[in-house]
Structure 1
Amino acid sequence: MNYLNDLLFGIYPYIALAVFVLGSLIRYDRDQYTWKTGSSQMLESKMLRKGSMPFHVGIIMVLAGHFVGLLTPHQVWDVLGITASMKQVFAMAMGGFFGLICFYGLTILIIRRFTNERVKASSSSMDNAILLLLYAQLILGLASIFVSAGHLDGAEMLMLMSWAQNMVTFQVADAAAAIANVHWIYKLHVFLGMTLFLVFPFSRLVHVWSVPLKYFRRNYQIVRTKQSNS
């Protein structure tokens, strides 16, 4: 069992992240014409508009919360006077709030993907698989809130923080040991999260790299109406 734990939570994350980075670079270099969202807005727009915004807002906030929550050393929270228990309750509240927003949007997008014949016909197997993987991951995350509610001491949260921070500093043995005794639902959540990184370069998720940040720094555009010659 220790070997499996070391493999899944000590070695597998590095494999997934290596594929994530190198696969994205290779795809951009070799297949730039596939580097797109593959939007199906022209096929159906009403449900897309209804689901897309809450999905994107929810998932961005959830990811930001995971990033800050897992990678900020607990000493920083101690200096701020935030105990592990307080941090866990806050994480449950914010994660649940934005998780439900994301769940609402993603549910609409999945219904649209599998029930609209035109959208369904234009979808690839990878498109469908990514949506279902994201859905499963989101459901696991929301379900873990109920597990966390059973113990508000923040102990397992500290273990997950230790795992993430040891992974970043390449302390593989310490990382695997830190996560060994957490509840299975957290382990499955982590494993599925790493799997999403693994399949990222082979899906339309690569469009995340192309977020138009330059838009916020571009010059204003002056638009004039055409004057009639009368």
Structure 2
Amino acid sequence: MPIALHNFLFNVYPYICLAVFLMGSLARFDRDQYTWKSDSSQMLRAGQLRWGSNLFHIGILFLLFGHTVGLLTPHFMYEWLITAPQKQMLAIISGGTAGLVCFIGLSLLLHRRIADPRIRRTSHRTDLAILIILWVQLVLGLATLPASFSHRVDAHAMLVLADWAQRIVTFRPDAAGLVGLDWQFKVHMVLGMTIFLLFPFSRLVHVWSGLASVAYLARPYQLVRARRLNLPNKQQGGRP
């Protein structure tokens, strides 16, 4: 890969994706709130949806949490408890299991949307496109497992990726450490950032609603006070 393209993809492109992700989501919520939904097709056929949706959401939530904590937690915060190679093996086993569960669920959802004529006719092109992109991303993620396993002794891949991610969120981008990384990781990273870029323009925006529902549980109690009405009484000649 040319060094200029490498620097753009891993030093500049992440900020473009994050800016579009945040500002685009805000703009869509402000302008098109009626499109802020997942467009469920449960009424057309519920059986395969139940299995596919549950497996997909369980897997994807675990993967999102694992990637966030695994990449953004500095090494010194966990080295007293677990070594870097042990953490990488834990990530391989847990992430591989969650990825497989998510892959099965998403495959069921994708097959259902393509194979059922009624669902296919009522589906937007963006619905199908985002499912295919997520499916490819899961395949790429599973393809990184053999490469991660080959680095299990020194945890090189995990440490390099964590350093890059932490530099991105602290506005100190440096993609030099990614130069010698296996291609599976790089393609997986670029497609993952592209999903954030496409997020505001797809059905994925309903994820924000899920986060809002969690915050709703911690809301303060609503204070309701009785309103005193000045009603006429019998003594004043009013109607009782």
The TM-score normalised by the length of structure 2 is: 0.87
* Higher relative helix content: 1
Q: Secondary structure at the match of 1:194?
A: helix
> Whole-Å Cα distance in 2 between the matches of residues 150 and 213 of structure 1?
39
The alignment covers a number of residue pairs equal to 216
How far apart are 1:214 and its partner, in Å? 5.7
Q: Secondary structure at the match of 1:78?
A: coil
How far apart are 1:217 and its partner, in Å? 5.7
> Whole-Å Cα distance in 2 between the matches of residues 41 and 168 of structure 1?
38
User: Aligned-pair RMSD on alpha carbons?
Assistant: 1.4
The corresponding residue for 1:207 is 206
How far apart are 1:151 and its partner, in Å? 2.4
The corresponding residue for 1:223 is none
How far apart are 1:100 and its partner, in Å? 0.9
2:51 partner letter? K
> Whole-Å Cα distance in 2 between the matches of residues 60 and 92 of structure 1?
16
How far apart are 1:156 and its partner, in Å? 1.4
The corresponding residue for 1:225 is none
The corresponding residue for 1:150 is 150
Give 1:153-192 correspondences, 5 Å limit.
Answer: 153-172=154-173, 174=174, 176-192=175-191
How far apart are 1:216 and its partner, in Å? 4.1
The corresponding residue for 2:131 is 131
The corresponding residue for 1:19 is 20
Give 1:1-230 correspondences, 5 Å limit.
Answer: 1-80=2-81, 82-152=82-152, 153-172=154-173, 174=174, 176-211=175-210, 212-213=213-214, 216=217
Q: Secondary structure at the match of 1:38?
A: coil
Q: Secondary structure at the match of 2:157?
A: helix
> Whole-Å Cα distance in 2 between the matches of residues 60 and 194 of structure 1?
17
> Whole-Å Cα distance in 2 between the matches of residues 45 and 69 of structure 1?
35
1:14 partner letter? Y
Question: Which whole-Å deviations, capped at 9, do the CAs of 1:75-107 have from their partners, x for residues lacking one?
Answer: 112222x21111110000000111111111111
Question: Which whole-Å deviations, capped at 9, do the CAs of 1:15-34 have from their partners, x for residues lacking one?
Answer: 00100000000000000010
How far apart are 1:177 and its partner, in Å? 1.3
The corresponding residue for 2:238 is none
The corresponding residue for 1:227 is none
1:73 partner letter? P
How far apart are 1:143 and its partner, in Å? 1.1
Runs of 4+ in 1 over 3 A off after TM superposition: 214-219
Question: Which whole-Å deviations, capped at 9, do the CAs of 1:181-220 have from their partners, x for residues lacking one?
Answer: 211100111100000000000001000001122664699x
Q: Secondary structure at the match of 1:99?
A: helix
The corresponding residue for 1:228 is none
> Whole-Å Cα distance in 1 between the matches of residues 19 and 218 of structure 2?
31
Q: Secondary structure at the match of 2:30?
A: helix
Question: Which whole-Å deviations, capped at 9, do the CAs of 1:129-178 have from their partners, x for residues lacking one?
Answer: 10011001111111111111222120111000000000011112x2x112
Give the 3 Å change call, closer, same or farther, for CA 217–73 of structure 1 in structure 2: closer
> Whole-Å Cα distance in 1 between the matches of residues 20 and 12 of structure 2?
13
- Specify every segment of 5 or more residues in structure 2 that has no aligned partner in the other structure, as ranges: 222-240
> Whole-Å Cα distance in 1 between the matches of residues 85 and 70 of structure 2?
13
